[in-house]
Amino acid sequence: MLARLPIRTYLPPVNIDLANAALALGAAIASFILLKLCLVFIRRKLCQLSEDQAGHAWAQILKKTLGSTSTIALAATSLLIGLALLDLPAPWNERVKHLWFIGLGVQIALYLHRGIAVATKSYFARHASTRGESETVAHTLIIWALQTAVWIIFSLALLANLGINVSTFIASLGIGGIAIALAVQNILGDLFASLAIAVDKPFEVGDSISVTGFSGTVEHVGLKTTRVRSDSGEQVVISNTELLKSTVRNFKRMSRRRVQFSLFASPATPAALAAKVPPEMRRIVEAQTQVKFDRAHLKNFNQSAVEFDIVYYVLDSGYALFMDTQQAVLLEAMAALERLGISTSTAQSHVVVESEQPLRRVGMKAV
């Protein structure tokens, strides 16, 4: 017959008297009630803040985050408080410490998980004028990446608390991450560029932009490419990475347009007539609608021409209004110079070519 092997116990028996157990149970019940009341009080105070006030945005996020607290989490925390009051041997105390770390860690991770989703959606809702399909996907990827990072960090911290060496595992993850990043660096570059466009919003669908080489209207912003309808009619597809590397001019966000141009008159123009040009240009510009006059000066005078510099602002970003205003100003300026008797012809240059050899007369001999 086989001998029965004795079973070795790793934890000593626990001897708890009735008074200590009653104290722990009472502390657990009191802790549950106190935590519940504190949670209700904090949420009620946060609910009193108006959501329309921008200064209380974080208070609203905190309110929604605390709203995800479950009764099970409060009960588990209360039981751990009661266990801390029991007279337990040293090995049991170590197990209770591990339970504390697990309980609080899980609750903090849940808070962060909920808070990331609420805060990110609130930020995008405040800064987004339109919600396209690509922006929705980008926002979802950002939330998913942040929430995944929270749970990965919590899992590694939990393993380390249980006495497991995670250094080798972290090093393996780092090497594997570098290999994957090198393999798909172009795709990841366009993806992160798309996320940058979704978060920073240098332009949106419908904006008129100018990039190096072309200009047009944004039709679609995808995860890899952006499609722009150029002014000449064709659709230009450009990767998000290359687009962000270029200088992008967004004309839709231009509040006003600065216009600067020059008028050239004959260098023989008398000073008395030249002095009448700046006031006349001021009158012409101020007569236009949605225009703010800035300055008009005699800028330069030399043997070639007399130069006048005129600057004004069109108080609307529309290109058609700018061209109509500029055309009206130039036509009025031409008429004003003609009325003042100022010639716009510049000095003419005469080129004289001299030859060192005298010209020979070539004749023909009759046969």
Q: Which residues pair with 295 in a beta bridge?
A: 311
Do residues 285 and 291 lie in contact, with contact meaning Cβ atoms separated by under 8 Å? yes
pLDDT at 41: 78
pLDDT at 142: 73
Do residues 179 and 216 lie in contact, with contact meaning Cβ atoms separated by under 8 Å? no
Question: Is residue 237 classed as helix, strand or coil in its secondary structure?
Answer: strand
pLDDT at 349: 60
pLDDT at 8: 44
Q: Which of 175, 257, 248, 242 is nearest to 218 (CA)?
A: 248
pLDDT at 282: 94
pLDDT at 264: 92
Question: Is residue 53 classed as helix, strand or coil in its secondary structure?
Answer: coil
Every domain of the chain and the residues it spans: 18-127, 165-253, 257-340
Structure tokens, 27: 């502390």
Do residues 205 and 135 lie in contact, with contact meaning Cβ atoms separated by under 8 Å? no
pLDDT at 364: 45
pLDDT at 248: 86
pLDDT at 279: 93
Running along the chain, 367 residues long, what does each successive block of 10 average in pLDDT? Answer: 41 61 76 80 69 58 71 76 68 67 75 78 62 58 78 79 70 66 64 75 84 85 84 86 84 85 90 92 93 93 90 87 92 92 73 58 46
Domain 257-340 class in CATH? alpha beta
The pTM of this model reads 0.47
Question: Which residues have C-beta within 8 Å of that of residue 303, sequence separation ≥ 6?
Answer: 267, 347
| CATH architecture of structural domain 165-253 | Roll (2.30)
